[in-house]
Amino acid sequence: MQLTKTEEQVMELLWKQEKAFMKDLMDEFPNPKPAPTTLATLLKRMTDKGFVGYKEYGKSREYFPMVKKTDYFSKQVNGIIKNFFNNSASQFASFFTKETNMSTKELEELKAIIDKEIEKKK
C-alpha cells in the first residue's frame, strides 16, 4: 500500500520525531501548514492503512510510525524497478547512473558499495 505525497510528508515528520502529538506535527510542518482537520484526516487514513499507530492520553493522541522508513522506501524502489524496468535491477542501475548526472566521485562511491555487496554474497 502506498502513501500520498502529503502522507509521506507526515511520515517524514514522524520518522524524524519518532512519536508526536498532533500539535508537534503542526509545529514542524512547513508553510503553508495544513488545517488541523486536514492533518487529523491524514493521520486517520494513515492509521487505517497501518502506517501510523497512537496511544491515547485522555483526549490527546500521541502518534508514532508503525513502518520503518527503510522498509517503506525499499518497497517503493522495488516497485519502481518492477513497474518501470521489467523487474531488472541492472536496467534500473544503468538508467540511474546515466540519467542522474552523477559525478565521477559519486560513481566511484557507488562502485565501492556494489563491490562490497558482491564480496558479502560470495
- Tell me the per-residue pLDDT of 59-112, one tens digit each, with 9 for 90 and over: 999 999 999 999 998 888 888 888 888 888 888 888 888 888 888 999 899 889
Please state, in angstroms and rounded to a whole number, the distance separating the CA atoms of residues 81 and 74: 11
Q: Select from 8, 44, 38 the least CA-distant residue to 26.
A: 38
The CA–CA distances, whole Å, from 120 to 1, 80, 106 equal 31, 25, 21
Q: Name the DSSP class of 39.
A: H
What pLDDT was estimated at residue 42? Answer: 95
Confidence of residue 13 (pLDDT cuts 50, 70, 90): very high
What integer best gives the mean pLDDT of the chain? 91
Q: Residue 63 belongs to what H/E stretch?
A: strand 60-65
How far apart are alpha carbons 72 and 51 in whole angstroms?
Answer: 9
- Check residue 56 and give its pLDDT: 95
pTM of the model: 0.75
List Cβ neighbours of 66 (8 Å cut-off, separation of 6 or more): 50, 51, 52, 53
